[in-house]
Amino acid sequence: MTDFGRQRLGVNIDHVATVRNARGSAYPDPLRAALLAEAAGADGITAHLREDRRHIRDGDIEALAAALSVPLNFECAATPEMQAIALRHRPHAVCLVPEKRQERTTEGGLDVASDQNRLTDYVWPLREAGCRVSMFIGHDPRQIEASARIGAAVVELHTGHYCDLHAEGRFAERDAELEGLRKGAAFAASLGLEVHAGHGLTYDTVGPVAAIPEVRELNIGHFLIAEAIFTGLGPAVERMRHLMDAARDPSA
First to last CA, the chain: 18
pLDDT of residue 101: 55
CA–CA separation, 117 and 28 (whole Å): 41
Q: Which residues are catalytic?
A: 48, 75, 199
State the chain's maximal CA–CA distance in angstroms: 51
pLDDT in tens, 158-217: 999 999 999 999 999 999 999 999 999 999 999 999 999 999 999 999 999 999 999 999
pLDDT in tens, 64-86: 999 999 999 999 999 999 999 99
Contact 49, 78 (CB under 8 A): no
Give residue 98's pLDDT band: very low, low, confident or very high (50, 70, 90): very high
Comparing 81-90, 112-121, 172-181, 242-251, the range with the smallest average pLDDT is 242-251
Q: Which of 182, 116, 99, 185 is nearest to 152 (CA)?
A: 116
CA–CA separation, 154 and 144 (whole Å): 10
Q: Which of 37, 23, 92 is nearest to 61 (CA)?
A: 92
- The pTM (predicted TM-score) of the whole model is 0.94
Residue 107 has pLDDT above 70, yes or no: no
Q: Which of 17, 57, 54 is nearest to 34 (CA)?
A: 17
Give residue 2's pLDDT band: very low, low, confident or very high (50, 70, 90): very low
